[in-house]
Amino acid sequence: MEFRRINGLPPYVFAEINGRKAAARTAGRDIVDFGFGNPDLPSPDVAVAKLAEAAQNPKNHRYSASRGIPHLRLAIATRYKRVFGVDIDPDTEVVTTIGAKEGLSHLMWALIDRGDTAIVPSPSYPIHIYAPLFAGGQIVSVPMLDPSALDVATPGDSFFDGLLEAWQHAWPKPRVIICSFPHNPTTACVDLAFMERLVAFALEHDVVIVHDFAYADLGFDGYQPPSILQVPRAKECCVELYTLTKSFSMAGWRVGFMLGNADIVAALTKLKSYLDYGTFQPIQIASIVAMNEATDYPAQLNAIYQSRRDTLIEGLSRVGWDVKPPQGSMFIWAPIPEPYQEMGSLEFAKFLVDEADVATSPGVGFGEGGDGHIRFALIENELRTQQAIRNLKKALTKLG
């Protein structure tokens, strides 16, 4: 059968690693899995208890509000004020989404059409590349370099230079810039001054910025990732996606938000009113409780990820694989060690499953710009991480 839109999709390279991982497990091997960024830590107890209670009430079994019930929009507005000092009008400046991924994907339908383009970093979280394409547009790639490989420029400066160059050569001029900091997969982080530059650029060139803030609460060693909405006038040209997935370890619940420019919020709200009836109401109610009563939970999770980061970085260094610790996100973006570089990321990731019982994500799965790296997701605890390090020590015989 001939299909539309999905024909151009390359084979999902992560599926190759998953297949190998599954086969190894069937054969009885214990794979330490840093592959998929699927949080292993539990959701807050108060949210789970509230979900169970709210699910008992038949009133909550009906269709809910597609844009999110008012108290849920109020709870995220309150969190934005408390954490980022940003004022959000819960009636006009936020819409609930079924996770950040759904929000970003459908937003592209409202912003991009055939003939339009979006600027997207390379490498990128895959839906940042495919959402504009699904909407019928084209993408213009801007390199997102490994922050640990930058000599003089900060990740923000080098991305900004690439953006200026891409803008100069692009025709038609892009309508949208998609970005995301802390960045998946490269872990690049930026400061508020970078966000100010980006907003000034968007205002000057009349382009919309979509900032995916999936790792909003994952900053290490005292670093706090900035919200783009902290910049004065950002609401004139920007929207931001915030999600409970990583911040509250609520990945399966599918609760996210798009906040910022009221016209763009209204556009996505209108589109979603045709597409869905919103998230199951008990989940919305429990999400309110998570944000209002488990306010410190993101900080507790952050401490766990930071400790896992340290264990993995120290362990890799012991086997002769030096990687700079990331400032944020839940990943380690590791350059393939020199003696193995020729393999490319997919073959190297397969080698690690086969020879070290360690699963990672090959960088090429995030776009051509990622092929020199593999990504570790910090979803294994310290003991399991130590096990992985012992396995790597045996397998990586070409390292000193």
Q: Which stretch binds ligand PLP (CB under 6 A): 95-103, 130-138, 161-169, 269-277?
A: 95-103
Burial readout 178-199 (b: 16 or more C-beta within 10 A, e: otherwise) = bbbbbbbbbbbbbeeebbbbbb
- The number of CA neighbours under 13 Å toward the Cβ of 120 is 25
**Side chain identity at 30, as an amino acid letter?**
D
- As measured in angstroms, the least distance from the Cβ of 213 to ligand PLP is 8
DSSP 386: H
Whose Cβ is closer to ligand PLP: residue 312's or residue 392's?
Answer: 312
CA-based nearest residue to 88, from 267, 260, 263, 270:
260
98 versus 265: smaller Cβ distance to ligand PLP: 98
- Using DSSP's 3-state secondary structure scheme, residue 119 falls into strand
Site for ligand PLP in 185-214 (CB under 6 A): 212, 214
Q: Rule CB under 6 A: is residue 337 a binding residue for ligand PLP? A: no
Which of 14, 321 has the CB closer to ligand PLP?
Answer: 14
8 A C-beta contact, residue 233 and residue 203:
yes
Please report the DSSP string for 289-345 in residue order. Answer: HHHHH-TTHHHHHHHHHHHHHHHHHHHHHHTT---PPPSBSSEEEEEPPGGGGGGHH
Among 158, 184, 281, 302, indicate the residue that binds ligand PLP (CB under 6 A): 184
| Shortest Å distance, C-beta 169 to ligand PLP | 26
Kindly identify the residues of this chain, within the stretch 256-275, that bind ligand PLP according to CB under 6 A.
256
Minimum distance of ligand PLP from residue 150's CB (angstroms): 20
Nearer to ligand PLP, 158 or 184 (CB): 184
Our finding on whether 131 is near ligand PLP (CB under 6 A) is no
Q: Is 243 in the site for ligand PLP (CB under 6 A)?
A: yes
Q: Is 245 in the site for ligand PLP (CB under 6 A)?
A: yes
Residue 379 as a binder of ligand PLP (CB under 6 A): the answer is: no
Q: Which of 72, 75, 95, 100 binds ligand PLP (CB under 6 A)?
A: 100
- Nearest residue to ligand PLP by CB is 99
DSSP string, 197-254: HHHHHHHHHT-EEEEE-TTTT-B-TT--PPPGGGSTTGGGTEEEEEEHHHHTT-GGG-
Cβ-count burial of 293 within 10 angstroms (0-12 exposed, 13-18 middle, 19+ buried)?
Answer: middle
Residues in contact with ligand PLP by CB under 6 A are: 37, 99-101, 125, 180, 184, 212, 214, 243, 245, 251, 256
